[in-house]
Structure 1
Amino acid sequence: MASSPSTEDDVLDRLKKNVDPTVLSDREAAIRKRASEQYEKAHSRLKDLVNDNSTLPVTISLINIDGAKNTRTGFLQKVLQGTFARGKEPGFTLAEALGELSRDCHTFSRFGIFHQPTLYVDLAGQSDGKTKLNAKITLRELSRFILKTGTDMGNTEGSGYLSLTYRNVFGGAESLNGYASTGTRTRSAYEVNFQAPVNANPDLILEAGGYASSRSHHYYSSHEEVLRGGKVGVKWGEHEATYNGVWRQVTGLAQGASPTVRCDAGDSVKSSLRHTFTRDHRDNHLLPTRGWIVRSESEVAGWGGLGGDVAFWKNEMEAQVAAPLGTSGVSVSAGLRSGFLYPLSLGVGDNKKPAQPSRINDRFQLGGPTDVRGFRECGLGPRDGNDSVGGDVYMAGGANIYFPIPKVGPEKPLRLQVFANSGRLVGLQGLTEDGGNVNSSVEGALKELGNGLPSIAAGIGLVYAHPMARFELNFCLPLVKRSGERGRKGLQLGIGIDFR
């Protein structure tokens, strides 16, 4: 008499109950171990097979792409054309073929529209004394639409945002991004941005977009700023070059706004070219323990035929290095940065105007919990009454020592830090709307930059590097403070993604 399926299940359940859980766990562990050993042996045999035949002459006869439903065939072919070209070269070997195919898979993953690709290679006979290879790359496309809402905390501001991304718009890894936010200081910000790789190259990206924002600067100066503009540019490797055209308004002046702020109130148009270079070899950009970074950003506005009503050359440079001290988890970091704004003549020919003093919305600001700790935000540099009006030349630097917290361990992103930082911000003197000697003004500013000690602060605090932002709670003590500058003695909280 045959037993029913339910009866068999009952027997199996009773057998399982009669087995010691420890024995059952050991058996499962043994099964997993045998499976792992078999996988390792198979992987080792495959590796040995490839190594033994690494110099075997081959040719790639076919690459089949599976799973790219929304991606253009021409786009896929451009990614693979280099591999096919190399496959026809004399002396092309199995090792080189696998290397080329692996690089193609890595290239596909870098476009941000696919999950990690999988590769399968099979033999397909002989041709002209070479072994033919058939390859199959399986692609699994990511969702084309991403909608996100949430809150951001960074660089002393909190905000709520809504973002929408449309990936692989035309089947060539293009992306269209829309972003809207409102915050404690940025009252509104809107941006639409389109990006597309050029010639199916993930290292060459064309970008175009438009933006609008309204931001309050009353926390350091008695005004607000409204921006409406657009940009177009290209990114390649560690470089980015863009053209920016923006209409700016200095508005919303407070009742006690200083003469400097009132003088710069109103509209201005900036038309500029910008280049940024970044080389970052740090192990963590929020809490680096080893590595280095160098960054340079240059902008030319209003010069020659660029147009607009402001003209200057502006440059910022930054370098930082971090290194561990032995294996104790203690590490040190040090950085130095500088900025320089050089006024230029505006226009060409008969319409050429002499160099003008810089405007408040083009100058540098210095100081704050994510900048020069121990000073209030924008608390360094020239002031007019209660307003920080910024400067044209600055230099700042700092050093940190990070200690792991006992019973927490060095592997956690929580550290005790001891720091010292300094900075100096000065403005150009002697320029008026009627003209002036720019070189003399620059020479005077550079002399003033080195006149006496810079503003200095030191302190101790806690650092937590969350994946989204870095949090610091420090006790700060200003050691050198110039007249009119605003220090911050005591506790200072810093939240941001870009700490200097």
Structure 2
Amino acid sequence: MGSHHGDDETNAILLKILQHNIRVKSVQIDGLRRVQEDIVVPHLKPLLKAKNLYSLLGLVGKTHDDLEVLDAFEKIDINIEHLGKKSDVNEVMLRVAVSENRRNTFGMNVSGDRGLNDGSLNIYGKVRNLFGRLESVRVNYVKGTKISDGCSMIFNKPILSQKNSNFKVVASKENMLNRTANYMTSDVKTNMVYQVGMLGGKNEFEAEALWQQIHGGNVSMKVREEFGHHLKCAVRHKYVRDTRDDLLVPTTGSKHSIETELAGFMGDVNHVKVNVDSQINTKLFLGYSGALSFRAGLIHELSENRRTWITDKFFCGGPGSVRGFYEDGIGRPLGGTMHWGAGVSLSRKLPFSPHIWGLGKFMRINHFVNAGNLGNDRKDLFVDPRVSVGSGVIMKIANFRMEINYAVPIRYQASDVVNHGLQFGIGINFM
């Protein structure tokens, strides 16, 4: 009883301290060298609104996070200094000490691609804060042994120093082997992207100019008819609202996205393309969580003289889509102008203690049912859908999700490339 009474007294004293009136008299920032002061000041102004210690501590945490997102500072410390008491109000000063990131960064890494005996070398350099207002330029060079090689230059500028608000210009050249149809693409493109938080989610507005060549490889005659040079000019809008508790292995929350593309201002591509993707997650019983996923897309050509080429078509099937089929293994070799996919899954942590090799921390067992279809006509889309069932293990490794599943296709067509048995997948976005 005495211990419980003592805890109540301590909590009462702490609550009284947190609710005591406070006035922030000034905010001082130290350590700025290249970053202009007017970039940082808007993030510090909310600190002056604190009325008590409780609200001040919350604002200090938010300010720290906002400054960290700017990618300008290596270290951020916010200290509260007591200046004295005026009537019943404590006056404080806030001292913000920052250490700026190095202006120039260079690095390299080596990575591999699953099942293709392909390695790639990525060399990059980044220059931060070009003109003192968080502008940056990053140059990448990627050399693959089999799949791809290319280079890109990215200019990025935050708009009004706001979180999730950026203007970006990307110029790139890339050669890529299509793993499904065995043809090559050589792309030269320029993209202008504006990212902004709006309507409760992330919005991305993009304009693209693409010069593409499709060529090479031992391919079917239908794919060979797609060969040649193509010019595409397009604008896009993508909206994403994500409230999931984890981006890779969620147990609660939802994600909804819609992407719309209009192509045809110049060149030989003219279409409207829409793609939607939704996922809802919820916790169930016995430690299980359930996920319901749905995807769909449509391409509508606007002119008979111009068309949609194979590189813009939809493909379906694979470990991140309808499991139990090889990558893009469903439907026609040229893809389709319509697609849909749906999945239901149940997952839970493996019955291992986190202390047994750490397996309980990052592994989950997963049971799933997937369905989907691909076509060029509405009648094709809902006749004979492909269906698969299976179970497997999910592993969260660094910034990727890895799955090892035993999948059984129970509905498929003769033209499909099925993968009955063990299937391995690694990536970010799974159905």
Query: TM-score band (shorter)?
Result: 0.7 to 0.9
How much has 1:241 moved relative to structure 2?
Answer: 0.7
1:291-302 equivalence runs, <5 A: 291-302=253-264
Query: Residue deviations 1:385-427, cap 9 Å, x none?
Result: xxx1110000001122224333355842112222221110002
Is the CA contact (8 Å cut-off) linking 1:223 and 1:257 kept in structure 2? no
Structure 1 residue 70 displacement after superposition: 2.6
Give the structure-2-normalised TM-score.
0.86
Matched, 1:248 2:212: yes
Deviation of 1:111 after TM superposition, in Å, equals 0.8
Would you say the 8 A contact 2:400–2:426 is kept in 1? Answer: yes
- 1:223 has 2:200 as partner: no
Sort the Cα spacing of 1:42 and 1:194 in 2 relative to 1 into closer, same or farther, 3 A.
Answer: farther
Contact 2:404–2:423 (CA under 8 A) maintained in structure 1: yes
Between the aligned partners of 1:292 and 1:161, the Cα distance in structure 2 is 34
Mark the CA change 1:168 to 1:480 in structure 2 (over 3 Å): closer, same or farther. same
Matched residue SS, 1:274: strand
Q: Structure 1 residues 334 and 174 mapped into 2: Cα distance closer, same or farther (>3 Å)?
A: same
Aligned-pair distance for 1:168?
2.7
What is the total number of aligned residue pairs between the two structures?
A: 413
User: For 2:402 and 2:145, how far apart are their aligned partners in 1?
Assistant: 18
- Contact map agreement 1:230 1:245 (CA 8 A) in 2: yes
Q: Secondary structure at the match of 2:311?
A: coil
Aligned-partner Cα distance in 2 for 1:343–1:156: 36
Q: TM-score, structure 1 length as denominator?
A: 0.75
| 8 Å contact kept, 1:253–1:262 | no
Q: Secondary structure at the match of 2:68?
A: helix
CA distance in structure 2 between the partners assigned to 1:293 and 1:106 by the alignment? 23
Which residue is 1:167 aligned to? Answer: 128
How far off its partner does 1:365 sit?
A: 1.0
Instruction: Render the CA deviation track for 1:141-189: whole Å, top value 9, x for unaligned.
Output: 2333333322335676653322222233332222222222233653202
The within-5 A match list for 1:185-264 is: 186-217=147-178, 219-237=179-197, 238-254=202-218, 256-258=219-221, 260-264=222-226
**Is the contact made by 1:329 and 1:404 (CA closer than 8 Å) also made in structure 2?**
yes
Contact preservation (8 Å) 1:343, 1:355: no
Q: Secondary structure at the match of 2:225?
A: helix
Q: Aligned residue for 1:481? A: 412
Report what 1:338 is aligned to. 296
Pair 1:425 & 2:366 matched: no
Higher helix share: 1
**Preserved contact between residue 18 and residue 52 of structure 2 (Cα < 8 Å):** no
Give the deviation of 1:314 after TM superposition: 0.7
Could you say if the C-alpha distance between residues 323 and 130 of structure 1 is closer, same or farther in structure 2, counting changes exceeding 3 Å?
closer
Q: 375, 385, 392: which one pairs with 1:454?
A: 385
Q: Distance in 1 between matches of 2:162 and 2:12?
A: 34
**8 Å Cα contact 2:336-2:375 kept in structure 1:** yes
Task: Give the counterpart letter for 1:228 in structure 2.
Answer: V
Q: Residue 351 of structure 2 contacts residue 360 of structure 2 at CA under 8 Å; is this kept in 1?
A: no
Calculate percent identity across the aligned residue pairs: 24
Partner residue of 2:6? Answer: none
- Counterpart in 2 of 1:67? 31
Residues 112-144 of structure 1 show CA distances to partners (whole Å, capped at 9, x for unaligned) of 222452222335579999875432111122333
Displacement after TM superposition at 1:212 (Å): 1.1
CA contact (8 A) 2:340 2:372 kept: yes
Q: CA deviation at 1:204?
A: 1.6
Structure label with greater radius of gyration: 1
Q: What is the CA distance between 1:102 and its match in structure 2? A: 4.6
Runs of 4 or more consecutive aligned structure 1 residues displaced over 4 Å after TM superposition: 41-47, 81-84, 92-102, 123-133, 153-158, 408-411
Which amino acid is the alignment partner of residue 298 of structure 1?
Answer: T
Please give the residue correspondences for 1:60-459 in structure 2 after superposition, counting only pairs within 5 Å.
60-81=24-45, 100=59, 102-115=61-74, 117-124=76-83, 133-153=92-112, 158=118, 159-183=120-144, 186-217=147-178, 219-237=179-197, 238-254=202-218, 256-258=219-221, 260-302=222-264, 306-326=265-285, 328-345=286-303, 354=304, 356-382=306-332, 388-408=333-353, 411-427=360-376, 445-451=377-383, 453-459=384-390
Give the secondary-structure state (helix, strand or coil) at the position aligned to 1:202. coil
RMSD: 3.0
